[in-house]
Chain A
Amino acid sequence: MTEPAGRERPLTVALVGNPNTGKSTLFTALAGIPTRIGNYPGVTVEEKVGRFSHCGRPIDLIDLPGAYSLRAQSPDEQVVSDVLGGRMAGVPRPDCIVAVVDATNLARNLFLASQALELGLPTVVALTLSDVAAERGIGIDVEALARRLGCAVVPVVAPTRVGIEALGDRLLSAPEALPPRPPDLAPHRAAIDGSRPASARDAIARYAWIDTVVAEVVQQAAPPRRRLADTIDRVLTHRVWGTLAFALVMLALFTSIFRLAAPAMDLISAGIDSVSAWAESILPAGPLRSLFVNGVLAGVGGVVVFVPQIALLFLFVATLEGCGYLARAAFLMDRLLAGVGLSGKSFIPLLSSFACAIPGIMAARTIENRRDRLLTILVAPLMSCSARLPVYLLFCGAFVPDIAVGVSWLRLPAVVLVAMYALGVVVAAAVAFVLSRTVFRGPPQPFVMELPGWRWPQPAVVLERVREAAWSFLTNAGTLILAMSIVLWALGSYPKPVFPDAPALAEAERQGEALRQSFLGRAGRVIEPVVKPLGWDWRLGCAALASFPAREVVLGTLGVIYNLGDVDPGEEEGASLLVRRLKAATWDGTTRKVFTLPVALSLMVFFALCAQCASTLVIIGKETGSWVWPVVTFTYMTALAWLAACATFQFGTALGW
């Protein structure tokens, strides 16, 4: 008698395959939602495991990253090779391999699959997209293929679960079956010049062997007609129409994260506000209420508010990836970005960063090449995000003279606003250019990218990507961002202020005094010599420091520090009040105005380039798996922001603006 099924050791099965082969769809069809998502030790390659049971036997399915070869060239491929070889710490050597082979692209998929057959592990080949192959007139003799590979071959159509049960049955019996027969490459290898590297000989011999397999098992019915997919492809990669379609898709993507996310974000803010109001009504005034309302609740709000943008962006990216357009977009933009040392795949993460760097940096997950990915993440925060816009709008409106530039309809404030956006792009290009030729210099990075065929995205896979992105943000980065906002709240609230003539002070003045006496306020005074060359007084330095949790709070902080109390600069009344107060502000003990045109410009330039956003730095740390990169980002961006702001102020003052 066998043991009761539940007590049996789970069978460990590794899912191996090329990218874009329907591997994720197969994973979802077999295991559903993953039970464990994390990173492999020491690398930022995602570890995804799903537990399911088949006929009562528990199975742990490891979804390995997509790879083209077991001769590892990237961290992803190294993980595949290490896990299959049983060399990955904390991961048991799989009992069995499922080699995913795309039936529409048999030859290239057999390259990796045949390497897997050489590992000596029981192997089952899952022939995915067999429905699409049949539509295209590609007939595959499954039995002949199984004979040639020496292992079971199961045709599957994962979205409709065709073949999924049969695949499960094969997995259970695989460990008892004979190990697969490694392909016989020797005769092919003998025909190749012996002086070439072993891996080159192996690749050429392997394809020669694959050609004999394909010739035996594939019957191409009629020569393929001009399929609809080919027509779509011709239009979407056309010089004019393709570029136009690309612009439209990107416009839709950008508008959706910029505008469509706004109602959800407003709803979250309103929800947090009402919880805050409720908490204020039931908690007695004091440090505990302040901690809960201004520290914890504000922190939670500051985390959750990013979720709509992240979810929308990943909905777009996963859909584009699923239908094959993501690779086309990278193809179209590659030349433009290659010039500064990036690649076409950097485009969507950078574009998204104009709405917010956080989803943008997360979208850089779609860049397989580690160097390109890191470089993209490092320059993404330079794109002017939506949090900078209120700062630009307020200062352009209040301090930039409304005069015409050349033609009557082109006003100077609008030109300055556009210039701020352009500044971020130009500096990002320069930084990427310099970094790719210094710190990240190395062997030329190949841009060898498959352009997958057009197909319908799988809703289950798309939704899983969205859920995973939002969840990993909330659990990994969210908790840290929350902790950081509580620390920053404490720095802005303690030590408690002492009021010499307490009763005489109005509430707004009390708030201002409290901030000035806090650690943050004192730090603002300490750094005054540093911000003076930028034309700032200590209050501005203080506001810049206090905006570290997120740039958008800088206007609110300015309100508090200039004794306006808690005004809402997002509302017209609050904004005009703030503008009047700022215009009236003078240097301590003098009648000299603080805010002049050069000061306003230097402040805007500083905010365009600085890294005053704790959440961005947290997400950089999480996405790169190292706290070195947030430190590097903060340092280089702050240095650039200071230099550029200083140059702006000094130059502007010298010109007598």
Chain B
Amino acid sequence: MRSLAHVGVGVTVSVVDVPGADPVSLRLLEMGLTPGVNVAVVAAAPLGDPLELELRGYRLSIRRREAALVTVAT
């Protein structure tokens, strides 16, 4: 298992969990990053951060710091 922050651009992974109890982790769950969902890292901004994700048929942008809260299956 690893974090979403370390997934390369163009790769699709499956979310294992967002285990934190902090407000940011809860918001990520509410945005649909729940266990079992497939997430594609579509792009990274020109300066390397933030990331553009595709999940549940929509695009979401989060910073790498937030992506580090998401554990994904390898």
Contacts and interface: CB of A to CB of B under 8 A. Distances in A.
Contacts of B48: 335
Interface in B15-74: 18, 21-32, 34-35, 37, 42-43, 45-50, 52, 56-63, 65-66
B27 A331 contact: no
A447 B46 CA distance: 17
Nearest to B66: A446
A479 to B, nearest CB: 39
A336 interface: yes
By CB atoms of chain B within 10 A, which of A200, A208, A450 has the most? A200
B43 A73 contact: no
A448 B60 contact: yes
Interface residues of A, number: 40
B59 A448 contact: no
A108 B58 contact: yes
B50 A327 contact: no
A9 interface: no
A389 interface: no
B65 A444 contact: yes
Interface string A423-465: 0000000000000000000011011111111000000000000
A548 B45 CA distance: 42
A237 B43 contact: yes
A200 B28 contact: no
B13 to A, nearest CB: 17
A interface majority secondary structure: helix
A104 B58 CA distance: 8
Contacts of B65: 444
A105 B57 contact: yes
Nearest to B34: A207
A246 to B, nearest CB: 9
B21 A451 contact: no
Given A334-B50, A335-B47, A450 B59 contact: yes
A207 B18 CA distance: 14
A451 B35 contact: no
Q: How large is the interface on B (under 10, 10 to 19, 20 to 34, 35 or more residues)?
A: 35 or more
A69 interface: yes
A194 to B, nearest CB: 13
A111 B24 CA distance: 17
A204 B29 contact: yes
A199 B59 CA distance: 23
Contacts of A68: 27, 30-31
A338 interface: yes
Contact of A71 (B30, B35, B37, B60): B30
A214 B45 CA distance: 31
Contacts of A344: 50
A163 interface: no
Contacts of B21: 196-197, 200
A242 interface: yes
A284 to B, nearest CB: 65
B30 A449 contact: no
Contact of A448 (B27, B35, B46, B58): B27
B34 A446 contact: no
A473 B59 CA distance: 34
Nearest to A246: B46
Contacts of A332: 45-46
Contacts of B62: 446-449
B61 A104 contact: no
A451 B58 CA distance: 8
A327 B61 contact: yes
A644 B6 CA distance: 44
A208 B36 CA distance: 10
Nearest to B21: A197
Given A71-B30, A204-B34, A449 B47 contact: no
Given A203-B34, A204-B34, A237-B52, A334 B26 contact: no
7 contacts: A69-B30, A111-B30, A204-B35, A447-B61, A448-B62, A450-B59, A452-B59
Q: Which 9 A-B pairs have the closest CB atoms?
A: A335-B47, A451-B59, A203-B29, A446-B24, A207-B34, A107-B56, A69-B30, A105-B58, A449-B61
